[in-house]
Structure 1
Amino acid sequence: MFTPQGPTLRELAVEALSSTERGYDLLAPKFDRTPFRTPDRVLEAVEHALRPLGPFDAGLDVCCGTGAGVGVLRRLCRERVTGVDFSAGMLAEGRAAQPQTPDGPAVGWIRADARALSFRPAFDLAVSFGAFGHFLPKERPGLFAQVHSVLRPGGRFAFPVGAPPRFGSPLYCALLGFDAVMRVRNALWRPRFVMYYRTFPLPEVLDDLARTGFDVELLPLPELGRLPDGSPRCRLVVARRA
């Protein structure tokens, strides 16, 4: 799963026994050489689906990490792009990897908790990639409300969601096992490291978005393939502030 330039088993163990924030600070220099980084083909599929919904002036990458989503927004937004994350280490890596260019939108990197955003309603598009496992289900409505509050009327919040693995499949068992281990770890060890793969079921997510005040649609991402029944392996949730 990891390249020789990625983290060692010992480094991963130290990170997993740290807090979520401290763990990502430690992982940041090698994060882009792990499977945790959103694959380029996912980023490209999302960009392709969002482009017809523009133009966009200002974009926000929620829980931006090292800035994979910032790169998408820089190609979609005309004026400015902001990445927000609570890990100073991840922000530093993103800033170094994506320097400001004179012919693109202004890019800013802000350290903040996505559950307490302090921006005014100034963004046309917000995206997030691979971060929702760091929020407990009870925190999800508050998180969505924060994103809703920083979007202009008509602004969109978009994120990809993969189809759930088939019950009993190797992937299903692996994710179930990982979440079980994390629950035991967090019950026995402090500080907690919040990361779960099975706490973001699409029907509940759509209900939370609707209750927050979003109009929601699902767009297929055909570039990422289809399941045997013909349904897409991955969809893009596009939640519009009414």
Structure 2
Amino acid sequence: MIQDLSHLQDPEPEATRRDTGTTESSRASRGWWDRHADEYQSEHGAFLGDDHFVWGPEGLDEAEAGLLGPVSLLEGLDILEIGAGAAQCSRWLKAQGARPVALDLSHRQLQHALRIGGGIPLVEADATALPFADASFDLACSAYGAVPFVADPVQVFTEVHRVLRPGGRWVFSVTHPVRWAFPDEPGPEGLSVAASYFDRTPYVEQDDTGRAVYVEHHRTLGDRVRDVVAGGFRLVDLVEPEWPAWNSQEWGGWSPLRGNLIPGTAIFVCERA
């Protein structure tokens, strides 16, 4: 699911840029989403819908985008949603006749999936160690789930490659890498470059003991492409959704003002090599 809800943390943690490894990143993500799942679903649940497949704050819908392939061909396919949150995307996939499985690191997010219902199989697990047999799925997808929060995304991609069948498609969305050079502000103050695009140092929010409570990892566009290839995939398409005229919301650093000037989301469409 879509991130950037760090303003909900109370008391306010210290924001910094520092190195952080796999274990610390995973622990921080699990704790953060467990603490903030309620606020997240309350604030953004209506925009996401209970059974829609929305790729990001711009509102690009899979029903129109068809990034997983033609909607008419989803019926009967086994599909893994990674970082599923309340399983909104999986619920839409099931309505198309697919057989989705929704996986998330956060127990509380999956409780919201149970609350909404729909009979989606739910799995609580880390995306770097998928608890499935080889070649279990036809497709895999992730709308702002897992990839931005792990220290080594190739671990995720390698696992996805393992559980996909030959020719399987893997589609995931993340914050567009160019946005890391700009302040995370939706107004005019967020339109000037404030940091190096090439600084890969993770963004960390930590408590007064120095323990990370939120971690997000920056990769350049080139890094993402190389990670995809290293994970055993072929990049088929890279989609940068434009901000639509109907969308007037502000969501963290996303807004109509910024969305009409710089990309906010990058969607990578990959196929298992």
Compute the displacement of 1:182 (Å): 4.6
Deviations 1:90-125 (A, max 9, x none): 00101221422xxxxxx2001111111121221111
Alignment of 1:74-153 (within 5 A): 74-76=94-96, 78-100=97-119, 107-120=120-133, 121-131=135-145, 132-136=147-151, 139-153=152-166
Residue in 2 aligned with 1:201?
Answer: 220
Residue in 1 aligned with 2:250?
Answer: none
Compute the displacement of 1:151 (Å): 0.6
Question: Please, what TM-score do these two structures have when normalized by structure 2?
Answer: 0.65
User: Does the 8 Å CA contact 1:73/1:81 hold for their aligned counterparts?
Assistant: yes
Percent sequence identity over aligned pairs: 23
Residue in 1 aligned with 2:59?
Answer: 41
Compute the displacement of 1:50 (Å): 2.8
Compute the displacement of 1:87 (Å): 1.0
Alignment of 1:62-73 (within 5 A): 62-73=82-93
Distance (Å, rounded) in 2 between the aligned partners of 1:111 and 1:238: 25
Distance (Å, rounded) in 2 between the aligned partners of 1:26 and 1:153: 38
Residue type at the aligned position of 2:272: R
User: Does the 8 Å CA contact 1:46/1:236 hold for their aligned counterparts?
Assistant: no
SS in 1 for 2:167: strand
Higher relative contact order (CA 8 A, sep 6+): 2
Compute the displacement of 1:153 (Å): 0.6
Unpaired runs of 5+ in structure 2? Answer: 15-26, 49-55, 184-188, 245-258
Alignment of 1:25-40 (within 5 A): 25-34=34-43, 38-39=56-57
Residue in 2 aligned with 1:236?
Answer: 267
Compute the displacement of 1:168 (Å): 5.4
Compute the displacement of 1:234 (Å): 4.7
Deviations 1:28-48 (A, max 9, x none): 222123369744823447753
Alignment of 1:163-242 (within 5 A): 164-165=178-179, 170-171=189-190, 182-183=203-204, 185=206, 189-190=210-211, 192-196=212-216, 199-220=218-239, 224=243, 234-242=265-273
Compute the displacement of 1:71 (Å): 3.3
> Larger helix proportion, structure 1 or 2?
1
Compute the displacement of 1:239 (Å): 1.1
Distance (Å, rounded) in 2 between the aligned partners of 1:43 and 1:134: 23
* Distance change (3 Å), C-alpha of 1:123 and 1:168: closer
Distance (Å, rounded) in 2 between the aligned partners of 1:43 and 1:195: 27
* Distance change (3 Å), C-alpha of 1:174 and 1:195: farther
User: Does the 8 Å CA contact 2:182/2:193 hold for their aligned counterparts?
Assistant: no
User: Does the 8 Å CA contact 2:179/2:264 hold for their aligned counterparts?
Assistant: no
Distance (Å, rounded) in 2 between the aligned partners of 1:67 and 1:180: 31
Deviations 1:210-242 (A, max 9, x none): 1221111214365645866xx976553111112
Distance (Å, rounded) in 2 between the aligned partners of 1:45 and 1:221: 17
User: Does the 8 Å CA contact 1:24/1:90 hold for their aligned counterparts?
Assistant: yes
Unpaired runs of 5+ in structure 1? Answer: 1-6, 101-106
User: Does the 8 Å CA contact 1:140/1:208 hold for their aligned counterparts?
Assistant: yes
SS in 2 for 1:49: coil
Residue type at the aligned position of 1:20: S
Distance (Å, rounded) in 2 between the aligned partners of 1:235 and 1:46: 17
Question: Please, what TM-score do these two structures have when normalized by structure 1?
Answer: 0.72
